[in-house]
Structure 1
Amino acid sequence: MPGHGPPHGRARRPGFGWPVYAWGLWDWGSAAFNAVITTFVFTVYLTSDAFGPGADERLGWALAAAGVLVAVLAPVTGQRADRSGRRTFWLGANTVAVVVISASLFFVAPSPDYLWLGLVLLAAGNVFFEFAGVNYNAMLNDISTPATVGRISGLGWGLGYIGGIVLLLIVYFGLIDPEVGLFGITGENGMDVRVTMLICAAWTLVFSLPVLLTVRDDTTARRRSARVGLLRSYRLLFRSVADLWRRDRNTVYFLGASAIFRDGLAGVFTFGGVIAAGTFGFSAGQVIIFGVAANIVAGIATVLFGALDDRFGPKRVIVLSLTCMVVAGLGIFLLHERGATVFWVLGLVLCIFVGPAQSASRTFLARLIPEGKEGEVFGLYATTGRAVSFLAPTSFSLAIGLGLTVAGPGQSAQYWGILGIVTVLLLGLVLLLPVRSRTLPDTALVSR
């Protein structure tokens, strides 16, 4: 499978040296866009009353449109970067785009006149963030060995959770919670949130520099690889999928199922803050505090569930996690009139199972892959996840639209969006159930 084999033929660095930590710091920095902007601060600000009615539904459609662009373009971006040997270059280019867009969110003033500016910038930021993630994930092989790949991957994941918590606390206590925050900034004209966007841009830039200055592009691969057009890149991708379908359909079934439920998992964090504010009346500060608690719970649960994964198998962990999330989501929908306590309890239950489901999904695939095909199939795993990244936003918006039809004019139906996320999770769970699990020798799990 072109673009997903060994990393440009370079020798991998042993242990946990500086390149590993430089790579992990990108995840720390990316939390500014992923946690602060997309989840707990800017989307909550953009769907507030200041931007007029229907902003939450339009947010869902804007993110859905971004997901369609990702589905069309992302499957070949990693492949093309691999072939050209320019992973670091494209990681840098896409990260800079995210930084510029993050800073530009400062100009989104709290008025309906600025709603579409905010939606377009947020959607564009999501597209470039996903493209950057393709190249970032592809670097894992460059800075790890078969003996350390799992721990190094976990280090990056953990730094992302921690980075989100640290930045959320900084902006909450420094800008959003005080009546007069740092530099004399107040909430007038949304200035506390808007300045937070500038801090996010700086945070992303500073913590992205280490990996961009440390991991070098492979110029020899650039000379070896012939230039391939966009259409040719898609033909190569489809050929790889067809080859895998002929060899191991069970793996293809898992790739499809996991792509769907992983998008549902992403939807939990993307729209969690929006629902907390719009349906349960959380203030911006309360949303941030919930976000801190959610990241702590998700991080701890992911580590603890690793032992269950090893003992009982990853499929059981995924099925348990998705089942509990579906039940908790339905509970939030049915009990929404009982107030914020319902969201605190059941919302954190949802967060308990997000990380374990993601982690066990990767382990499950590792046990399915035939020896020697790990890089190829894990590359396709990343591709399929991004190709359906429009599902959760689309389901969220469709569910709200259905709720408005049922509730009637002038009624709030945002809480119906929860059903959209639950539907995606349930669909992924149903598709996962017939997939056969397989246990391979430990050496097969990490050999490349």
Structure 2
Amino acid sequence: MEQAVAEQAPPSSTRRERTGWYFYDWANSAFSTTVITVFLGPYLTSIAETAAGCSDDACDTAVIHPLGIPIAPGALFPYTVSLSVFLTVFVLPVVGAIADRSPRKKQLLALFAYIGAAATAGMLFLTGDRYLLGAGLFLLANIAFGASVVVYNSFLPQIAAEADRDRVSSFGWAWGYLGGGLLLLVNVAAVLLKSKLGLSTGEVARYSIVSAGVWWAGFTTIPLLTLRNRPVTDPEAAAAAGNVLTGGFRQLWHTLKGLKVYPLTLFFLVAYLIYNDGIQTVISLASQYGTKELHLDDSVLVPTILMVQFLAFAGALLLGRLARAIGAWKTVLVSLVLWTLVILVAFFLPARQAVPFVILGGAIGLVLGGSQALSRSLFSQLIPKGKEGEYFGIYEISDKGTSWLGPLLFGLAYDMTRSYRVAIVSLLVFFIAGFVALAAVPIRRAIEQAGNTPPAKL
């Protein structure tokens, strides 16, 4: 695969640089996997339940009051995810515009990556009833995470030619799932051996969250050593490069106005926003659903999610191959049909039975990585040259665990019904509406409209 990538990559890109680029997926996926997907949801919920003075079997009427607002303890994490993404709506497109105007993208990547990693490691102090500390650190970490991925994604059109981006993007996602899975493997071992280690479930969760921050910071060093900065290519951005901050805000406004020149790119963004909200909500709240609704022990839940990570590695490569056969657009549509089936099956899963949950986890793993990787490569074809950062800033608003409509709907559904099953099945609307919207995008014309050359198969 990598040899094929090298054949069609732009002359200015080297295999060493692309390998370094893959490693940022390896580094930051620890945050997605260990923090968002597995440990923080149940752990922060337990902290909130402690603050509310309730136990697992007596929380139906308990409330907490963050900033004076009464909410159910179980709704704190989805609401926090939703708030973090609401804030990124204002932050990430500006970060992207700044990245396009700066000849120091690599330094921007370092800034946001290390801020996010530090906030994650700071959860070492998340104990007792300090749910506001946990929510605040997660807000900072998730926003910094999204900002770093905006800069990271903007390198993709610079290191891979149009015809090869599906493979490069898929390999990056696969590498990320492998890295996130390896750290989670260590944390799974800690969960299974917690009694021998003399640790409680909460302590294992907290130390696992901290380990993701250390992993993120440590492996970010590799892309910082191998990626190289490039001159600003957009004439307007180059002219304003002397003041990247104010220029970034101005360019964001021009970008939003300029989207009317590329209406099909905007159409794709709307479709992606819809269906990826559903995907990201499933990722970020799966462990909470398994713990609180299905009453599964960590010894079942965590190894299953670990299995999902390694299957997602294989799934990203598998769907990448399918995309080469039938096209990336069609492959993503197929994946959305599979996601719809996943939600329906999740609604009917029996409580306290591990085998059905493990089987469903396997299905999620096979479809997860490919649907995300191919969406990224498709979008890279819809960006006018020289505007990668600002367009990926808009794209990243709903990517990699930073959705907000899904967690908001999930939180509202649970708050009103106190049923996680109702909350999970409410997510069907995102996959059905997203499929319809994506199917309506004339993808070949959209790529040509952005001034790019469409691949042979879409």
State whether TM-score is above 0.5.
yes
| In the alignment, structure 1 residue 89 sits paired with structure 2 residue 107 | yes
- CA deviation profile, 1:86-119 (whole Å, cap 9, x unmatched): 212221111111121111111112x3x2222212
* Corresponding residue of 1:80: 98
| In the alignment, structure 1 residue 171 sits paired with structure 2 residue 187 | yes
Instruction: Work out the percentage of aligned pairs sharing the same amino acid.
Output: 23
How far does residue 290 in structure 1 lie from its aligned partner after superposition? 1.0
How far does residue 23 in structure 1 lie from its aligned partner after superposition? 2.3
Q: SS at the partner of 1:427?
A: helix
Match of 1:61 among 76, 79, 83: 79
Q: SS at the partner of 1:226?
A: helix
| In the alignment, structure 1 residue 253 sits paired with structure 2 residue 267 | yes
- CA deviation profile, 1:394-417 (whole Å, cap 9, x unmatched): 11111212323xxxxxxxx12322
| In the alignment, structure 1 residue 204 sits paired with structure 2 residue 216 | yes
The residue type equivalent to 2:425 in the other structure is L
Please give the residue correspondences for 1:35-434 in structure 2 after superposition, counting only pairs within 5 Å: 35-48=33-46, 52=54, 53=59, 54-109=72-127, 111=128, 113-144=129-160, 149-173=165-189, 175-180=190-195, 185-188=197-200, 190-217=202-229, 225-227=241-243, 230=246, 233-246=248-261, 248-337=262-351, 339-365=353-379, 369=382, 373=384, 376=387, 380-386=391-397, 389-404=403-418, 413-434=419-440
Q: SS at the partner of 1:257?
A: helix
RMSD of aligned residue pairs (Cα, Å): 3.1
Q: Contact 1:55–1:115 (CA<8 Å) still a contact in 2?
A: no
Q: SS at the partner of 2:175?
A: helix
How far does residue 229 in structure 1 lie from its aligned partner after superposition? 5.0
Q: SS at the partner of 2:243?
A: coil
Distance in 2 (alpha carbons) for counterparts of 1:403 and 1:68: 24
Distance in 1 (alpha carbons) for counterparts of 2:232 and 2:364: 46
| In the alignment, structure 1 residue 444 sits paired with structure 2 residue 453 | yes
Distance in 1 (alpha carbons) for counterparts of 2:24 and 2:388: 24
Aligned positions, number: 416
Distance in 1 (alpha carbons) for counterparts of 2:163 and 2:339: 33
How far does residue 144 in structure 1 lie from its aligned partner after superposition? 4.3
The residue type equivalent to 1:383 in the other structure is I
Q: SS at the partner of 1:444?
A: coil
- CA deviation profile, 1:418-444 (whole Å, cap 9, x unmatched): 124332222322322322232889x92
The residue type equivalent to 2:429 in the other structure is T
Stretches of structure 1 lacking an aligned partner (at least 5 in a row):
1-10, 405-412
* Corresponding residue of 1:408: none
| In the alignment, structure 1 residue 29 sits paired with structure 2 residue 5 | no
Q: Structure 2 length normalisation: TM-score? A: 0.81
The residue type equivalent to 1:160 in the other structure is G
Q: SS at the partner of 1:245?
A: helix
